[in-house]
Structure 1
Amino acid sequence: MDRQKWFDWLLEEAKVPFEGWDFSYVGKTGRLKEAPLSWNYTGLVMRKLPEIGSLLDMGTGGGEFLSMLKPLPAQTYATEAYKPNVAVAKGRLEPLGITVVEADGEDALPFADEFFDLIINRHESFDAAEVFRIAKTGASFLTQQVGGENDLLLNRLLGAPIPEEYLHWNADYAVKQLKEAGFAIEDCREEMVPTRFYDVGAVVYYLRAVPWQIPDFSLENYADGLWEMHCRMEKDGYIDIPSHRFLVAAVRQ
């Protein structure tokens, strides 16, 4: 297949629907690979499970991550704001006895004061004061966040605007918010690691799943940039895009 036909085929194939927060369509096939971080978020969460009686997973997506954790406490809740994901999460988590609540991370959360022993948050926004309110004394808040410099090379390569409203979002900023809310910080780490894309179809699939990265993304708007990226990937075999991640572990004293 020549380069143009392969390009056209990849763009057409990338129209596969995205559901929940599951990138396995391009991840399990090896078309997209994230470099490992120096920490393991799953392991950090699992280490706390034997000691808790109540758990909240903020921004559960389709419940993919939470459903893999075992054993979970009897009082386990999850929040999700994106309406298409709420139904997916309920279908996956409610049979496991987990209550799913439609709520955004920055909203007032529908839980009593000092209710949770552990609050986890993977790539979801949060209001530090609200998290503090629903955490018991001695409770932990463990969050892995996508930093404001995440995937900016995609924007630059495609000629898309940089989402400047998120550039401030980093570990120092999050720690400051949490300290002001009353938390003590146990751990804080921050890294830039590459995400490797092996074909332009995987890039298109990814950008459609994260519309905040390039809000006006479409094949028509970025045809030239996608073609240039395709040619580069055909030559080099892949393209590495820096991903910005940080981890904060906090405790309500």
Structure 2
Amino acid sequence: MKYDKSFEQLIESHNQPFSGWDFSYVSSTGRIDSEPLSWSYGSKAMSLIKNSSSMLDMGTGGGEYLSMLRPFPQTVYATEAYKPNVPIAKNRLEPLGVKVVEIEDDNRLPFEDNFFDLIINKHESYSNHEIRRIIKDDGTFLTQQVGGSDCHDINDALDLPYNEEFINWNLANAASDLENNGFKILEKHEEFPIQRFFDVGALVYYLKAIPWQAPDFTIEKEKQKLYEIHQLIQEKGYFDVKQHRFFIKAKAI
């Protein structure tokens, strides 16, 4: 099938470098936008950091987000499991006094028992037992997570299966697991904000950056479905999908 020139150009526009956890190529240009949540993870994290003496940022990516949460306490560590991000995070964070540690297994973190009084975690996996081991009694665990039904509208539009690995990941299950591993829940929220794509190239860029959303996705196989989304955007102006976010603040007991 022959596709129009604008569609082909937009598809080609996805072919840009992606490093750390930086979506500015599509977000800062307004090609993707998201409905705000009723809470601010950053504001809550900064308030806790100010009163902390030792903290850990789990899954720091390239350190982009953590670097904006200064001033830091005396002892600050950050973990990252994705190898290409580790040198990026080190270059950005170590001059700020943050020790960046590469990890391979959530169940085996290279820290002593009762080491941190604050652990923050934005959109990163974790082991309940392991974070309880390394956090001090009365320490705080703050996390914002991407829920298991995140952006399923993309999968539906492309006729691709959901990622079953995360399908049951939601606030109820996460809070229950923490309570069963020595934590008291202090705050919790769950919402389903809208994420809006203003062109199909931004959608492809997004899918390439987070391949776990649709592991079987390829441009070649899904090109007709992508063209249908392109036509929808041409008519309506945007393509909306429902995100899934939840937030927990918990105290070690």
Which interval holds the TM-score relative to the shorter structure? over 0.9
1:105 CA drift (Å) = 6.4
SS in 1 for 2:234: helix
The separation in 1 between residues aligned to 2:195 and 2:245, in whole angstroms, is: 12
**Could you list the per-position Cα deviations for residues 29-60 of structure 1 after superposition, in whole angstroms to 9, with x for gaps in the alignment?**
11000110000000000111221101100000
**Could you list the per-position Cα deviations for residues 116-172 of structure 1 after superposition, in whole angstroms to 9, with x for gaps in the alignment?**
010000000000010001101111000000000001000000111111221100001
> Could you say which residue in structure 2 is the equivalent of 1:112?
112
- Structure 1 segment 50-89 matched on structure 2, within 5 A: 50-89=50-89
SS in 2 for 1:9: helix
**Could you list the per-position Cα deviations for residues 93-132 of structure 1 after superposition, in whole angstroms to 9, with x for gaps in the alignment?**
1111111101146231000000001000000000001000
Question: Is this contact kept in 2: 1:105–1:124, CA < 8 A?
Answer: no
Say which is worse superposed, 95-104 or 143-152, in terms of deviation.
95-104
Counterpart amino acid of 1:199? Answer: D
Q: Which runs of 5+ in 2 are unaligned?
A: none
1:87–1:76 CA distance, 2 compared to 1 (3 A): same
The separation in 1 between residues aligned to 2:20 and 2:87, in whole angstroms, is: 9
1:105–1:197 CA distance, 2 compared to 1 (3 A): farther
SS in 2 for 1:79: strand
Question: Is this contact kept in 2: 1:191–1:245, CA < 8 A?
Answer: yes
Counterpart amino acid of 1:133? Answer: R
> Could you say which residue in structure 2 is the equivalent of 1:93?
93
The separation in 2 between residues aligned to 1:171 and 1:75, in whole angstroms, is: 30
The separation in 2 between residues aligned to 1:76 and 1:151, in whole angstroms, is: 33
- Structure 1 segment 208-227 matched on structure 2, within 5 A: 208-227=208-227
> Could you say which residue in structure 1 is the equivalent of 2:132?
132
The separation in 2 between residues aligned to 1:104 and 1:45, in whole angstroms, is: 25
Counterpart amino acid of 2:177? Answer: Q
Q: Which runs of 5+ in 1 are unaligned?
A: none
The separation in 2 between residues aligned to 1:104 and 1:246, in whole angstroms, is: 25
Say which is worse superposed, 45-54 or 239-248, in terms of deviation.
45-54
- Aligned residue-pair number: 251
1:197 CA drift (Å) = 0.5
SS in 2 for 1:83: coil
The separation in 2 between residues aligned to 1:16 and 1:238, in whole angstroms, is: 22
RMSD: 1.0
Counterpart amino acid of 1:193? Answer: P
Counterpart amino acid of 1:197? Answer: F
